[in-house]
Structure 1
Amino acid sequence: MRSVIRLGGTAAASLLLALSGAVPGNAAPSAAAASAHCTGSGCVGKSPMRTGCDRHARTVRRSAEVGPLVELRFSSSCRAAWVRVTHARGGDRIEARNRGGVCRHTTCYAKTVAAGRSSAYTAMVNDKGTKAWGCLHRRNGTIVCTEAY
């Protein structure tokens, strides 16, 4: 009898959580947008972590080279992209781009991997209505890029 009461109580609690929208992993699509502090061109040059854009981001492109992993991260709620590198060396430089040419403010954001570190991420570039990609400029002169997304 106790297990039936316990089962009934658990089912009722689950139903209440579901009706309230508080079930973990069942957030409404608008919840992602509500947690982000910027969108598209409003995210340019900002930190994906400080704006909340990293919360629902995904890796959309990866470098195919052996060595440091270069990832192009994309947030659909922010419509912005940035580059993350892991297994790099201090002095390597990563860039997030959304237009060709020289790396300039608003179209490219670069970050140098700090000495003693092996990972870093860039500020965001607009990825609403344009394509973005990422590159790693290694200290030895090698350049590794992702495909555009």
Structure 2
Amino acid sequence: DPAPGCHGTACAGKDPVLMACGLPGRADALGAPHRTGTGASVEIRYSQVCAAAWGRIWHSHVGDSVEISAPGTPSRRVVVTGEADTRAYRFTPMLGDPDQNQVRLCFVPPHGTAQECFRP
């Protein structure tokens, strides 16, 4: 496997796939995956190797988005923009070195429905 491309705060805002933080054996779920009211699934991912967290969404709809946040760090968001995105995992950019217990992931549906938020 390639070496991780970042660690801790250096991962902030970067892509977990491009930085090799999300490779098998390098990332685990923080808590259980959640199924949203619209049927999309969301999950908080964390890599010990990279000391970074991110959100992912799948079984989604065009316009769905997820936003990951933690105290003391800017939140990061990904929006499902096309039909191809609905059939794949989509990832937020990473939070670098967050407090794992304080990470929050919010699902935001496109039509003004209330967001759904989850913690590990």
TM-score, scaled to structure 1: 0.66
Q: Which blocks of at least 5 consecutive residues in structure 1 are unaligned? A: 1-31, 101-105
Higher normalized helix content (fraction of residues): 1
Aligned partner of residue 71 in structure 1, secondary structure: strand
Equivalent residues, number: 111
Which amino acid counterpart does residue 109 of structure 2 have in structure 1? R
Is it true that 1:96 corresponds to 2:64 in the alignment? no
Cα distance in structure 2, aligned partners of 1:145 and 1:107: 17
Amino acid at match of 1:92: D
C-alpha separation between the residues in 2 aligned to 1:108 and 1:72? 13
Aligned position for 2:44: 72
Q: Is 1:43 the equivalent of 2:14?
A: no
Alpha-carbon offset, residue 129 of structure 1: 4.2
CA contact (8 A) 2:70 2:98 kept: no
1:38–1:51 contact (8 Å) kept in structure 2:
yes
Q: Distance in 2 between matches of 1:146 and 1:64?
A: 11
Deviation string 1:79-128 (CA, Å, 9 cap, x unpaired) is 1000000111111111111128xxxxx52111110121314211000234
- 1:135 corresponds to which residue? 106
TM-score, structure 2 length as denominator? 0.80
Map 1:15-26; keep pairs closer than 5 Å.
none
Q: 1:108 aligns with which of 75, 78, 100?
A: 75
1:59 is the counterpart of 2:26:
no
Percent identity between matched residues is 27
Give the distance between the partners of 1:145 and 1:135, measured in 2 at CA. Answer: 4
The alpha-carbon distance between structure 1 residues 143 and 120, as it changes in their structure 2 partners (threshold 3 A), is same
